Amino acid sequence: MNTLIEPKIITGNSNPPLAKAISSRMSMLRGKPVSLIDARVERFNDGEIFVEVYENVRGEDMFILQSTSNPANDNLMELLIMADALRRSSADRITAVIPYFGYARQDRRTKARTPISAKLVANLLTQAGVERILTVDLHAAQIQGFFDIPVDNLYAAPVFALDVMHHFKDMSDVTVISPDVGGVARARELAKRIGADLAIVDKRRNNPGEIAEMTVIGDVTDRRCIIVDDICDTAGTLCKAAETLIEQGAKEVHSYITHGVLSGPAIERIEKSVMKQLVITDSIQISPEAAACSKIRTVPLAPMLAQATLNIANGTSVSSLFDEDTLGPLYQGTY
């Protein structure tokens, strides 16, 4: 089997800082420069997206870095058009590195006459020429089954575990919280990694988007609580859960969320909330408003994604990055 060892990266407009950080980290790991492919991704006056690749990519192992975050449709179209451009330029293999996979919350039919948009996006990516997917914390793990190509779903839990152990030191009074019953597996995974207790906030809704009641399952009295989830959108559930925990006797509340969508009133809610801090990754480029918020802190994904990209290029294990012992050396000096 031919081993591909010369990865090349192209990026759209969704998260250029992360793309640069990944290329810089890959250069350090390989001991030779890994620069971003020279290309332009721009829009015509009517909003059409146009891509032109200025370098020869024939026979190359190409990695497209693009989160399908807000504006989701524009970023998705950029990804599809970049893939088509590379395929028509005879790239050997095209891997889409999608730190935040948009439309993942539409993974099933919840009512009659509704779409399964995550499956549609999977079909579009495959038809555009993408041959492999690398992503982080899919909202629903079964989305991997929507693809007929390999999907590597990395987890933020090992990175969060390293960060928690660095900043919290003593774990004797720490409890990991799932903000809903559906996220228990994710919360349990972090709790197991850091040796902490687990509790659940059960929420009930009268209407969509309207939380009627929250109940804490477990004892959080005099505990430092860490809420764990994959997506923070408008932060309504997150802030309400933090209030409920404080009312139930928690000493302080922290939150670790993989994807900081932070739309609408999210930042204002977080600033006014009882949460001590919200830790997110840079899977989505952080806005100036979020960067200025005193309660929001970012942990980088570049060390993990750079190593995963090299492992895919060299045909070695990606699952080794599920372990904080493997990630620890990669994250030294990032705190």
pLDDT band at 335 (very low <50, low <70, confident <90, very high): low
Residue 207 lies in a domain: yes
Residue 30 lies in a domain: yes
Q: Which pLDDT score, from 0 to 100, does residue 22 have? A: 97
Q: Are residues 149 and 23 in the same domain?
A: yes
Q: Are residues 179 and 312 in the same domain?
A: no
Percentage, residues of the chain above pLDDT 70: 96
Q: Are residues 22 and 97 in the same domain?
A: yes
Joined together, the tokens standing for residue 312 give: 């895919």
**How far, in Å, are 161, 164, 331 from residue 225 at the CA level?**
14, 11, 24
Number of domain units in the chain: 2
pLDDT(225) > 50: yes
Residue 57 lies in a domain: yes
Q: Are residues 145 and 242 in the same domain?
A: no
**CB half-sphere exposure, 116, CA atoms < 13 A:** 10
Q: Which pLDDT score, from 0 to 100, does residue 210 have? A: 58
| Contact present, 67 and 83 (Cβ < 8 Å) | no
What is the C-alpha to C-alpha distance for residues 107 and 243, in angstroms, rounded to an integer? 30
Q: What is the number of other CB atoms lying within 10 angstroms of the CB of residue 29?
A: 15
Q: Which pLDDT score, from 0 to 100, does residue 6 have? A: 79
95 against 206, higher pLDDT: 95
List the one residue out of 312, 323, 306, 308 whose CA is nearest residue 29. Answer: 306
The count of residues in the chain is: 335
Query: What does the mean pLDDT of the chain come to?
Result: 93
Radius of gyration over every alpha carbon of the chain, rounded to an integer in angstroms: 20
Q: Are residues 132 and 187 in the same domain?
A: no
Q: Which residues pair with 232 in a beta bridge?
A: 260
Joined together, the tokens standing for residue 268 give: 């204002």
Residue 2 lies in a domain: no
pLDDT band at 244 (very low <50, low <70, confident <90, very high): very high
Q: Specify binding-site residues for Mg(2+).
A: 139, 180
Q: Are residues 82 and 165 in the same domain?
A: no
> What are 282-322's pLDDT values in tens digits?
999 999 999 999 999 999 999 999 999 999 999 999 999 99
Residue 1 lies in a domain: no
Rounded to a whole number, what is the distance in angstroms from the first to the last CA of the chain? 40
Q: Which of 20, 203, 240, 276 is catalytic?
A: 203
How many whole angstroms from its chain centre is CA 268?
A: 22
> What type of residue is 101?
F
Q: Are residues 245 and 306 in the same domain?
A: no
> What type of residue is 209?
G
Q: Are residues 115 and 193 in the same domain?
A: no
Q: What is the mean pLDDT of residues 74-102?
A: 98
Residue 106 lies in a domain: yes
pLDDT(209) > 60: no
Q: What CATH number does residue 277 fall under?
A: 3.40.50.2020
Q: Are residues 306 and 291 in the same domain?
A: no
Q: What is the mean pLDDT of residues 33-59?
A: 95
Q: Specify binding-site residues for D-ribose 5-phosphate.
A: 205, 229, 233-237
Residue 306 lies in a domain: yes
Q: Which pLDDT score, from 0 to 100, does residue 211 have? A: 63
How many whole angstroms from its chain centre is CA 115?
A: 23
- What range does the domain containing 325 cover? 7-155+301-330
Q: Are residues 161 and 75 in the same domain?
A: no
H-only helix segments in the chain: 16-30, 72-88, 117-128, 157-168, 184-194, 236-247, 266-272, 288-292, 302-314, 324-330
List the one residue out of 333, 334, 303 whose CA is nearest residue 321. Answer: 303
What is the C-alpha to C-alpha distance for residues 66 and 98, in angstroms, rounded to an integer? 5
Active site residue 119: no
Q: Are residues 272 and 179 in the same domain?
A: yes
pLDDT band at 203 (very low <50, low <70, confident <90, very high): confident
Q: Which pLDDT score, from 0 to 100, does residue 208 have? A: 55
**How far, in Å, are 30, 256, 295 from residue 232 at the CA level?**
35, 10, 14
205 against 290, higher pLDDT: 290
Q: Which pLDDT score, from 0 to 100, does residue 324 have? A: 87
Q: Which residues pair with 228 in a beta bridge?
A: 256
Q: Which pLDDT score, from 0 to 100, does residue 332 have? A: 85
pLDDT band at 333 (very low <50, low <70, confident <90, very high): confident
Q: Are residues 267 and 179 in the same domain?
A: yes
List the one residue out of 332, 330, 320, 308 whose CA is nearest residue 132. Answer: 308
What is the C-alpha to C-alpha distance for residues 23 and 141, in angstroms, rounded to an integer? 28
Q: What is the mean pLDDT of residues 161-187?
A: 93
Give, in degrees to the nearest 5, the angle at Cα 286 between 283 and 287: 150
| Contact present, 315 and 4 (Cβ < 8 Å) | yes
252-260 β-sheet, strand order: 210-217, 197-207, 174-178, 224-232, 252-260, 277-281, 296-299
Residue 335 lies in a domain: no
